[in-house]
Structure 1
Amino acid sequence: MTNPLLRDLRILDLSRLLPGPFCTLYLAQLGATVIKIEEPHGGDYARALSPEMFALINRGKQSVTLDLRKPEGVALLKRLAAGADVLIESFRPGVMDKLGCGYEALKTVNPKLVYAALTGYGHSGPYRDRAGHDMNYCAYAGALDQIGSAGGPPVLSNTQLADLAGGALTCAIGILAAVHGARASGQGCFVDAAMLDGTLALQVVALSTLRTLGHTQPRGTDMLTGALPNYSLYECADGKWFALGALEPKFWQAFCAAIGKPELGRKPMSPGPTAEAVRAEVSAVLKTRPRDEWERLLAPADACTSGIYTLEEALANEQVRARGIVENVNGKPAFASPLQFRDAATASATPAPELGADTAAVLATIGIDDAELARLRAAGVV
């Protein structure tokens, strides 16, 4: 098999919980060597907060324990950083500098190092020192205001938009761009990835509406959030739901013909009384059959339709199974890399590491022998 694309990338991961580890999971799945640097007592908070989440997003990584509050721990991190391509951390701005291992300190031992700081609000601006979580960044980015039904309250999504898309994946793009630049120029850089910034940049449709109308539309009433009956959600006879995404006229007309209402396909699709009358007709039809029956009947129409699945159903879906994105790890489902390549490969992931499982092996690469390791352990450094 062709070697994974990032097989020569070595990453020190000091991040915790969800965003940073999810970022490095993607890189590990592409073949990067990811070394988690964890506190000797407890490690990544996710180990205790959500062991299953920890197991999912830390597969394929190694774990080394270092106490960065001790000078010897900082010295060891610097020695590891000298041979690394990337360091990623998710502390508040200034924490690593106070410990003596911020970007300015580490680039003296490795000028080519890419130092990625993944934070809520970034390393500049009046909010830089604020605490926050996914909902806070989504709230400030205008995303939370747009999620929910018309006339209803904002709704929390169980897909963390800021943590995963605005933060983790945006940061991964920044890291790869910076590594490419460092290898070309010999000079690394500081990647300042803020989850608020990344989430704000996702608000393309809402910003398009603002540019068109001079204001956004209330939640549930924009073009892709419920204003159009041909791009909406409908309840079926069994109480399950159906997604109709027939945005283009050809798909809308094909859908209307398939449900026995071809005349609806000739009506203009724009918000207003006509649209609501059409919605009522479509709703009445879709309530006459269960979801799975509609799926079978409408699949030949090729009209951008789908049942709304639970995660359990999604994992068993024939398309998902055919693509091989779901793996069985110790009898439980996990996600393989969502990226597939021709003439290249993703990495085979090992289970998430036990705390400190790789400390001896990794420190041996910088000359720490058994006797020195024993001394460091006795001193609480590792």
Structure 2
Amino acid sequence: MPGPIATRILCDLGFEIIKVEDTGQGDYLRDLYPGTFGFLNRGKKLISMDLKKDGGKIIMKRLIEHSNVLIESFRPGVMDRLGLSYNEVVKINKNIVYCSINGGDDPGHDINYTAMNGIDKTLPVQIADTGAGMMAALRILNSLYKNVNEHIIIDMRHIPFYFNLINIFDKSMINGDYPFYTIYNTMDGSIALGAFEEKFWKNFLEFINIDGPMHDKSLKGKIDEKTSKMSSDDIIKASKIYGFPATKVSKPEVKKSENLRMGSDTVQVLKSIGFNDDDIKSFLADGSIRL
């Protein structure tokens, strides 16, 4: 997912993003995790083409001519075999920023790259994927700002090192075991308490009318019993008065998905880079594109 994360960031910053999928299965996330696929690809233009066919190569060359950035996340060597290595692409567009995101000689997923960096547990967030996507977006913006065309290589094996807070902090301090940093039930939902500092903890205890040290795990049940009889809004109002960090746990709004069908923008994109109706019919006939 690092490529889609990087391009989602750039899309939110106003870039026009064209997502290229093959004409077969396409992006596996579309069927496996449709919600995630929708989130990552909202606002992008989707085209579907076969890069192994002559028509697909012609289209890709035209896309490169009209682009400022190319991002790919294949295993090393795949772009070379497609004739789309950095050295070949800069012959088409000498000003392009070319970004490769991969795991080098160790292809894998988030759990593999975090394990390489000493994290011995599964995590609820994709550190390597998210970190690599963020790093790629930053490096691309830096290259564009400096007006430097270069081959950016993001090695996912090293990304978790920069985000390895799990092994920096006491693991149990941030996993909800302690009463000062956890989720509490309320009459109408739940609230998140982040009283990490002693002063905030004391302020919270004054409000909740309980006494005890912040590392006393037995306090969680007593506090939850009290918050369960309060509304979330009342606790949030009290947090402003007494001075402790608390927020309501919100329920994400489910938005209607855009049209994220494979190839939904193929015709529009091809026409925008100079192909006409006859060209598109020809590409469609020989299987170079999918609509």
Structure 2-normalised TM-score?
0.84
Q: 1:371 aligns with which of 251, 255, 278?
A: 278
1:35, CA displacement in angstroms?
Answer: 0.9
How many angstroms apart in 1 are the aligned matches of 2:136 and 2:228?
Answer: 39
Corresponding residue for 2:242? 301
Give the match's secondary structure for 2:287: coil
Q: 2:217 aligns with which of 251, 254, 279?
A: 279
How many angstroms apart in 1 are the aligned matches of 2:85 and 2:72?
Answer: 10
8 Å CA contact 2:186, 2:230 repeated in 1: no
How many angstroms apart in 1 are the aligned matches of 2:92 and 2:164?
Answer: 40
How many angstroms apart in 2 are the aligned matches of 1:83 and 1:131?
Answer: 31
Give the match's secondary structure for 1:115: strand
Corresponding residue for 1:175? 140
1:24, CA displacement in angstroms?
Answer: 1.2
8 Å CA contact 1:20, 1:90 repeated in 2: yes
Corresponding residue for 1:341? none
8 Å CA contact 1:231, 1:246 repeated in 2: yes
Measured at CA, do residues 56 and 168 of structure 1 come closer, stay the same or move farther in structure 2, by a change above 3 Å?
Answer: same
Measured at CA, do residues 290 and 261 of structure 1 come closer, stay the same or move farther in structure 2, by a change above 3 Å?
Answer: closer
How many angstroms apart in 2 are the aligned matches of 1:130 and 1:68?
Answer: 25
1:189, CA displacement in angstroms?
Answer: 0.9
Give the match's secondary structure for 1:36: strand
Identity %: 31
Corresponding residue for 1:288? 225
Corresponding residue for 2:268? 361
User: What stretches of structure 1 move > 6 A for 4+ residues in a row?
Assistant: none
Letter in 1 for 2:207: A
Q: 1:138 aligns with which of 106, 114, 128?
A: 114
1:113, CA displacement in angstroms?
Answer: 0.6
1:93, CA displacement in angstroms?
Answer: 0.9
Letter in 1 for 2:126: Q
Letter in 2 for 1:61: K
Q: 1:199 aligns with which of 160, 166, 188?
A: 160
Measured at CA, do residues 160 and 241 of structure 1 come closer, stay the same or move farther in structure 2, by a change above 3 Å?
Answer: same
8 Å CA contact 2:64, 2:89 repeated in 1: yes
Q: Deviations over 1:329-361 (max 9, x none)?
A: 25xxxxxxxxxxxxxxxxxxxx24322222223
1:201, CA displacement in angstroms?
Answer: 0.4
Letter in 2 for 1:328: K
Give the match's secondary structure for 1:289: helix
Measured at CA, do residues 93 and 287 of structure 1 come closer, stay the same or move farther in structure 2, by a change above 3 Å?
Answer: same
8 Å CA contact 2:117, 2:161 repeated in 1: yes
Instruction: Count the aligned residue pairs.
Output: 284
8 Å CA contact 2:207, 2:242 repeated in 1: yes
8 Å CA contact 1:230, 1:252 repeated in 2: no
How many angstroms apart in 2 are the aligned matches of 1:237 and 1:66?
Answer: 52
Q: Deviations over 1:11-55 (max 9, x none)?
A: xxxxxxx33223212222222111111112332222332333322
Corresponding residue for 1:6? none
RMSD: 2.9
How many angstroms apart in 2 are the aligned matches of 1:56 and 1:38?
Answer: 17
Structure 1-normalised TM-score?
0.65
Q: Which runs of 5+ in 1 are unaligned?
A: 1-17, 122-127, 146-153, 210-216, 270-274, 316-325, 331-350
8 Å CA contact 1:134, 1:163 repeated in 2: yes
**Which is worse superposed, 246-255 or 76-85?**
246-255
Measured at CA, do residues 285 and 98 of structure 1 come closer, stay the same or move farther in structure 2, by a change above 3 Å?
Answer: same
Q: 1:53 aligns with which of 36, 46, 50?
A: 36
Corresponding residue for 2:128? 162
Matching of residues 14-29 of structure 1 within 5 Å:
18-29=1-12
Letter in 1 for 2:72: E
Measured at CA, do residues 235 and 56 of structure 1 come closer, stay the same or move farther in structure 2, by a change above 3 Å?
Answer: closer
Measured at CA, do residues 328 and 45 of structure 1 come closer, stay the same or move farther in structure 2, by a change above 3 Å?
Answer: closer
8 Å CA contact 1:39, 1:65 repeated in 2: yes
8 Å CA contact 1:36, 1:61 repeated in 2: yes
Corresponding residue for 1:328? 255
How many angstroms apart in 1 are the aligned matches of 2:195 and 2:9?
Answer: 32
Letter in 2 for 1:100: G
8 Å CA contact 2:70, 2:96 repeated in 1: yes
1:71, CA displacement in angstroms?
Answer: 3.7
1:294, CA displacement in angstroms?
Answer: 7.0
Measured at CA, do residues 370 and 194 of structure 1 come closer, stay the same or move farther in structure 2, by a change above 3 Å?
Answer: same
Corresponding residue for 2:251? 314
Q: Which runs of 5+ in 2 are unaligned?
A: none
Measured at CA, do residues 292 and 375 of structure 1 come closer, stay the same or move farther in structure 2, by a change above 3 Å?
Answer: farther
Q: Deviations over 1:234-258 (max 9, x none)?
A: 66598x8764422223212212222
Give the match's secondary structure for 2:20: strand
1:367, CA displacement in angstroms?
Answer: 3.0
8 Å CA contact 1:63, 1:355 repeated in 2: yes
